[in-house]
Amino acid sequence: MNQIHLGVGIACVVILGCLAVTQAQVTFVVKDGNFTCIKAELSAAISINYDSATGTRMKVVQLPGTATVGRNSLCGGNGSAPTLVMLFGDGHSLSLTFSTNDSLYSVANLTLQYNLSDTSTFPEANGTGLISMETTSVGIVARVNTTYRCVSASPVNVGRANVTFSNVKMEAYMTGEDLSPNESVCPADQSTTTAPAPPPSTTTSAPPTPNPPGNPTQGNYSVSNSNGSVCVLTRMALQLNVSHFSVSQKKTIQEVVNLQPNQTTSSGSCDATNANLMLSTGATNLSFLFTLNTTFNRYHLSGLSVVASWPDMEAPFMAKNNSLNYFSSTLGRSYMCSSEETLTVDQNFSLNTFQLQVQPFGLTAGQFSQAEECQQDQENMLIPIIVGAALAGLVLIVLVAYLIGRKRSHAGYQTI
Ligand SMILES: *[C@@H]1O[C@H](CO)[C@@H](O)[C@H](O)[C@H]1NC(C)=O
Ligand SMILES: *[C@@H]1O[C@H](CO)[C@@H](O)[C@H](O)[C@H]1NC(C)=O
Ligand SMILES: *[C@@H]1O[C@H](CO)[C@@H](O)[C@H](O)[C@H]1NC(C)=O
Ligand SMILES: *[C@@H]1O[C@H](CO)[C@@H](O)[C@H](O)[C@H]1NC(C)=O
Ligand SMILES: *[C@@H]1O[C@H](CO)[C@@H](O)[C@H](O)[C@H]1NC(C)=O
Ligand SMILES: *[C@@H]1O[C@H](CO)[C@@H](O)[C@H](O)[C@H]1NC(C)=O
Ligand SMILES: *[C@@H]1O[C@H](CO)[C@@H](O)[C@H](O)[C@H]1NC(C)=O
Ligand SMILES: *[C@@H]1O[C@H](CO)[C@@H](O)[C@H](O)[C@H]1NC(C)=O
Ligand SMILES: *[C@@H]1O[C@H](CO)[C@@H](O)[C@H](O)[C@H]1NC(C)=O
Ligand SMILES: *[C@@H]1O[C@H](CO)[C@@H](O)[C@H](O)[C@H]1NC(C)=O
Ligand SMILES: *[C@@H]1O[C@H](CO)[C@@H](O)[C@H](O)[C@H]1NC(C)=O
Ligand SMILES: *[C@@H]1O[C@H](CO)[C@@H](O)[C@H](O)[C@H]1NC(C)=O
């Protein structure tokens, strides 16, 4: 039996401020001697239902930045399958077992173990000891020699728990030290152009907002591809508008929250026709998907998803729509909108944008190209022009009337 060397590198998203729930992106490496066989960078939120003296309760655990690779991880071979075991907290673990058929590899099996004796995580739990649950419906499939990538949040149901992965980059059956630059992108990150976006509803009478914040601050967010050149460039001020069940008020409320640029990190990836921008504050993850239509040389924002774990929420909030059509513009131009725009994702979530300029695709030297302005900006520009033209016209009419009047009266005096 080969000796197994395990290494773990940890990359935490820096969390600032008073956010109650944080989400780390954690790196796991499984090695056999000097040979790296599995590498994974991911975030995971695990929601678990358990029985307590006061009935069924739900607990949400974020996979912490301190999670480590378990000693029972395997590179496999000789009848055993490659397995990544992620250990965290007081005896909890999440394991992924892989299988392959030479052209594809997949997660064959996800096993969640949690320790009900850990009363700080599971207060007043009826049972004690380790509970183990597994599922073979994980839905993680990739081509051999490619990195599985899934920025979007994707939930996996396992027994009485749900494991929601996000920001995943993972490869098994590796042939080198590092993740392959060739990627298999999950379906959720790919645009689906099946149905047109639902028209924004104008009749929704939402519950009153408890604390309307001021205008959001503009942030600069960009994505670079593997050779270091900028492939998505944006500057925008963002405001999230979320309807969710408030634990403290025991009713559904509408919360409007500004995204603070100085607490936000950006990441993402680009290929020829899809560009993904992910903004993360730890408590809030926003993912933008831009799609290029090569037939018409036009791009648009086709997908928007959010995962938020805010302090007053009963469960993490998720919303997603991959059939949007916003920011439509020409390849090689940027899209600009200084006016407020509301991007409706579903009945519970919309994103308000201000002072926005975005450009996916066709960037040269990391700079915005010539801008195409949104309809609202053009109308706003038109109003001062119309008012100005009207005033100038009025002045002219008065002047002409005066001159004519003077001439007439002059002529009049002479005839008398
Ligand atoms: C493979 O497993 C068999 C039986 O479990 C064992 O005898 C053999 O030594 C193993 N081979 C290697 C290379 O570990
Ligand atoms: C691992 O790499 C080191 C340095 O490159 C080398 O000395 C060592 O023999 C290698 N071990 C194995 C098991 O290949
Ligand atoms: C898991 O997800 C299912 C379907 O979305 C939901 O019905 C269930 O309540 C969730 N369970 C937990 C523990 O979050
Ligand atoms: C949990 O324990 C309490 C008190 O011991 C009991 O009343 C309740 O029925 C138990 N609940 C379950 C689901 O076992
Ligand atoms: C489960 O939690 C208890 C209490 O925190 C701890 O004593 C025990 O070692 C844990 N079990 C495992 C397998 O780590
Ligand atoms: C591998 O599995 C996939 C799906 O299960 C299948 O479509 C493909 O043909 C298989 N490839 C080989 C070489 O068996
Ligand atoms: C994967 O890469 C290895 C080593 O480069 C190669 O031997 C193998 O044929 C590749 N497999 C596929 C399916 O491309
Ligand atoms: C799932 O994986 C666990 C270990 O991670 C293993 O004990 C179990 O037998 C596997 N189940 C299936 C159905 O493959
Ligand atoms: C990536 O894919 C291309 C085309 O399939 C191939 O030529 C290249 O070798 C692959 N790179 C790696 C590192 O596997
Ligand atoms: C954003 O970028 C613009 C242009 O490059 C620059 O003027 C501005 O200071 C930047 N803002 C921040 C907050 O970095
Ligand atoms: C972030 O910016 C806000 C104002 O935009 C400021 O009040 C806050 O102190 C800043 N926080 C940090 C950590 O810089
Ligand atoms: C481009 O847009 C046209 C019209 O909306 C559509 O019919 C076509 O399928 C699109 N092509 C791609 C590659 O998305």
What CATH number should be reported for the domain holding residue 262? Answer: 2.40.160.110
Decide if 200 is inside a domain: no
Does ligand 7 lie within 6 Å of residue 175's CB atom? yes
Query: What's the 368 CA to ligand 12 centre distance in angstroms?
Result: 25
Distance of CA 324 to the CA centre of its chain: 14
Decide if 224 is inside a domain: yes
Which bound ligand lies closest to the C-alpha atom of 260? Answer: 11
Which bound ligand lies closest to the C-alpha atom of 78? Answer: 1
* Closest approach atom of ligand 3 to CA 49: 13
Report which DSSP code applies to 89.
T
Residue nearest to atom 8 of ligand 2 (CA): 34
| Same domain for 223 and 145 | no
pLDDT tens digit string along 321-345?
999 999 999 999 999 999 999 999 9
Query: What's the 95 CA to ligand 8 centre distance in angstroms?
Result: 9
Instruction: Supply the pLDDT for residue 296.
Output: 93
Which bound ligand lies closest to the C-alpha atom of 214? Answer: 11
Phi and psi for 302 in degrees, rounded to 5? -100, -20
Provide the domain limits for residue 100: 3-186
pLDDT tens digit string along 207-225?
444 556 788 999 999 999 8
Total number of domains constituting the chain: 2
Does ligand 2 lie within 6 Å of residue 34's CB atom? yes
Mean pLDDT estimate for the chain: 84
The share of the chain scoring above pLDDT 90, in percent, equals 57
State mean pLDDT over 70-91.
Answer: 93
Its pTM stands at 0.53
pLDDT tens digit string along 103-134?
889 999 999 999 999 999 999 999 899 999 99
Instruction: Supply the pLDDT for residue 241.
Output: 95
Query: What's the 37 CA to ligand 7 centre distance in angstroms?
Result: 14
Decide if 359 is inside a domain: yes
* Closest approach atom of ligand 4 to CA 52: 1
Query: What's the 159 CA to ligand 11 centre distance in angstroms?
Result: 42
Instruction: Supply the pLDDT for residue 15.
Output: 29
Distance of CA 347 to the CA centre of its chain: 18
Instruction: Supply the pLDDT for residue 11.
Output: 30
pLDDT tens digit string along 142-189?
999 999 998 888 889 999 999 999 989 999 999 999 999 988 888 777
Decide if 40 is inside a domain: yes
Do the Cβ atoms of 357 and 237 come closer than 8 Å? no
| Same domain for 137 and 22 | yes
| Same domain for 223 and 159 | no
pLDDT tens digit string along 27-36?
999 999 889 9
Do the Cβ atoms of 259 and 299 come closer than 8 Å? no
* Closest approach atom of ligand 1 to CA 1: 14
Instruction: Indicate if the pLDDT at residue 44 is higher than 90.
Output: yes
Which bound ligand lies closest to the C-alpha atom of 193? Answer: 12
Q: Mention every residue, 6+ apart, whose C-beta is less than 8 A from residue 52.
A: 122, 123, 124, 125, 126
Which residues line ligand 3 at a C-beta cut-off of 6 Å? 47-49, 58, 157, 160-162
Tell me the C-alpha distance between 408 and 229, whole Å.
73
pLDDT tens digit string along 236-293?
999 999 999 888 888 889 999 999 999 899 999 999 999 999 999 878 999 999 999 9
Instruction: Supply the pLDDT for residue 199.
Output: 39
- Of residues 170 and 308, the one with the higher pLDDT is 170
| Same domain for 227 and 176 | no
Residue nearest to atom 8 of ligand 9 (CA): 182
| Same domain for 234 and 361 | yes
